[in-house]
Amino acid sequence: MEYKNRYGDTYKFEYNENGNIDWRGKFKWNRFGFETVDGEDVTLYIDPSGGPFIGIDTDMSRFGLKGIVKGFVIHEDYYEIIIDK
């Protein structure tokens, strides 16, 4: 599934082999929300400039996908969205 934000940047969402969602696109400017739990930083949301804002408990049906966001794994050039299956 592809999503185009208000600046015309395109983001691609694809299910991966773990049943989670890989989120790829232009991530030059982002805002992140973090919380420290037991000494470890937990990502609460990722918000690229122009959107889309995706945070914990986001219903991915707004992007035509199934699942509720439970967390994120930050990879070198994309984000893995962990979903409640």
Q: pTM of the full predicted structure?
A: 0.93
C-alpha 53/C-alpha 5 separation (Å) is 10
- The tokens for 34 are 């973090």
Which residue segment(s) compose the domain that 14 sits in? 2-84
C-alpha 83/C-alpha 18 separation (Å) is 10
Identity of residue 36: T
Q: pLDDT band for 8, please (50, 70, 90 cuts).
A: very high
Parallel, antiparallel or unpaired: strands 68-74 and 40-48: unpaired
Counting the structural domains of the chain, the total is 1
Give 17-28 pLDDT, tens digit per residue: 999 999 999 998
Nearest CA among 60, 50, 52 for reference residue 84: 60
Q: pLDDT band for 56, please (50, 70, 90 cuts).
A: very high
Strand order in the sheet with 10-15: 2-4, 10-15, 21-24, 79-84, 68-74
